[in-house]
């Protein structure tokens, strides 16, 4: 099959997701457009590393390796990039499964040599079997899924979403790797935005770079029961504000908040209006969805203010890996340096 060779990187960190990890790998191995290889990068968990090594010892095309950097998702991805052989590197969450044509749609995007990244659509699988009535689709990013407000079809975007994304290998030569100190670190505060920061760095380094989302490249992402509650919603939106502050300090406020301005001034007000309309029409969850949108905005704004203060004080730092997986640049988040 013509097209680029694609390596798939799945970063894992806990044995609690054992069955999910196996399902994720199986979905990659069942692709209509075969992956060159699947790399399981284990984040500082010796027991899981040993168990996965034994599980895939005799499986062709699957490699298990330890995160070679500091704890966290960004360093795990950088480890996978450095160890992979594909012309394109795709990333899949460890609690998600890809549809059969996932890689086929990614590969098609790279027919244009200017395309440096292609992302896809992520659909939630709710543990309870259905979306909570109060949970607004505009905030599906809270649970790692595609949210209402993103453009449909195959379109140019500022950034792809990390759990369902691919990059041309040369993108990392131009921009370096994922910044550590911005994204997730296991079960700690659920930070994010590392892919946003990378994509902005990439388009700065290569102004002619094209980044796409193709919503035909679909994965299905598990949402555990704990994340269906407002407590997690509030924690995640606050953490997003903290993360956005780091991104803004790293790449500048104009670029760091470019898409967020449209989201908060157009997408979210429309969501509140729909929720209030549903409440007037006595439809389930309407008032709750409107209230959750307002609460999410306020909580994220609070996180952004706190994160900005911390960054100015130099209380947090970030590091960008070079193209060979080694440290490229380091600094305080206050130093000058999605589709949400």
- Sorted by where each begins, the domain ranges of the chain are 6-228
Helix extents (H) in 71-161 = 73-83, 102-109
Distances (CA, A) of 306 to 190, 232, 316: 15, 19, 12
The confidence band for 286, taking pLDDT boundaries of 50, 70 and 90, is very high
Neighbours of 14 (CB within 10 A): 17
Please report, to the nearest 10 degrees, the dihedral formed by the alpha carbons of residues 301, 303, 305, 307 taken in order: -150
Q: Between the CA of residue 169 and those of 58, 84, 87, what are the distances in Å? A: 27, 9, 5
The fold adopted by the segment(s) 6-228 is Spore Coat Polysaccharide Biosynthesis Protein SpsA; Chain A (3.90.550)
**Per-residue pLDDT at 235 exceeds 90:** yes
Comparison of pLDDT for 322 and 120, the residue scoring more: 120
Average pLDDT (132-137) is 97
Residue found under tokens 């997408």 = 267
In tens, the pLDDT along 100-131 reads 999 999 999 999 999 999 999 999 999 999 99
d(Cα 8, Cα 40) in Å, to the nearest integer? Answer: 9
pLDDT of residue 293 exceeding 90: yes
Mean pLDDT, rounded, of the chain: 88
Measured CA distances, 14 to 122, 181, 252, 306, 309 (Å): 22, 20, 35, 30, 33
* Band of residue 325 on the pLDDT scale cut at 50, 70, 90: very low
pLDDT class for 2, splitting at 50, 70, 90? confident
Q: Is the pLDDT of residue 53 over 80?
A: yes
If you average pLDDT over residues 9-16, what whole number do you get?
Answer: 97
Non-local CB neighbours of 198 within 8 Å, separated by 6+ positions = 159, 175, 177, 178, 179
When pLDDT is averaged across residues 159-185 and rounded to a whole number, the result is 86
- Residues 28, 111 contacting (CB under 8 angstroms): no
* Among 38, 46, 123, residue whose Cα is nearest residue 85: 38
């Amino acid at each position: 099959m013509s097209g680029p060779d694609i390596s798939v990187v799945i970063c894992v960190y806990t044995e609690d997701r054992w069955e999910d990890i196996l399902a994720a790998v199986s979905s990659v191995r069942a692709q209509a457009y075969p992956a060159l290889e699947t790399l399981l990068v284990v984040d500082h968990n010796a027991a899981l590393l040993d168990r996965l090594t034994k599980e895939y010892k005799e499986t062709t095309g699957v490699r298990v390796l330890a995160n070679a950097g500091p704890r966290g998702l960004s360093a795990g991805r950088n480890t996978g990039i450095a160890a992979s052989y594909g012309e394109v590197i795709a990333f899949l969450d460890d609690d998600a499964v890809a549809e059969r044509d996932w890689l086929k749609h990614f590969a098609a995007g790279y027919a244009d040599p200017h395309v440096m990244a292609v992302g896809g659509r992520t659909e939630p699988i709710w543990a309870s079997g259905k979306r909570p009535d109060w949970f607004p689709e505009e905030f599906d990013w809270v649970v790692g899924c595609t949210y209402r407000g993103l453009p449909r079809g195959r379109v140019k975007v500022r950034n792809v979403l990390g759990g369902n994304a691919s990059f041309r290998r040369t993108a990392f030569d131009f921009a370096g790797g994922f910044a550590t100190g911005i994204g997730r670190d296991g079960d700690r505060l659920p930070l994010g935005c590392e892919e946003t920061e990378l994509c902005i760095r990439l388009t700065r380094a290569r102004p002619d770079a094209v980044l796409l989302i193709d919503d035909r490249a679909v994965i299905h992402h598990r949402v555990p029961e704990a994340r269906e509650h407002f407590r997690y919603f509030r924690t995640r939106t606050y953490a997003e504000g903290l993360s956005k502050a780091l991104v803004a300090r790293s790449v500048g406020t104009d670029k760091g908040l470019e898409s967020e301005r449209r989201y908060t001034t157009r997408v979210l007000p429309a969501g509140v209006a729909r929720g209030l309309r549903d409440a007037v029409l006595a439809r389930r969850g309407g008032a709750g969805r409107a209230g959750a949108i307002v609460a999410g905005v306020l909580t994220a704004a609070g996180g952004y203010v706190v994160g900005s203060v911390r960054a100015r004080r130099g209380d947090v730092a970030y590091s960008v890996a070079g193209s060979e997986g080694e440290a490229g640049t380091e600094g305080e988040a206050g130093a000058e340096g999605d589709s949400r």
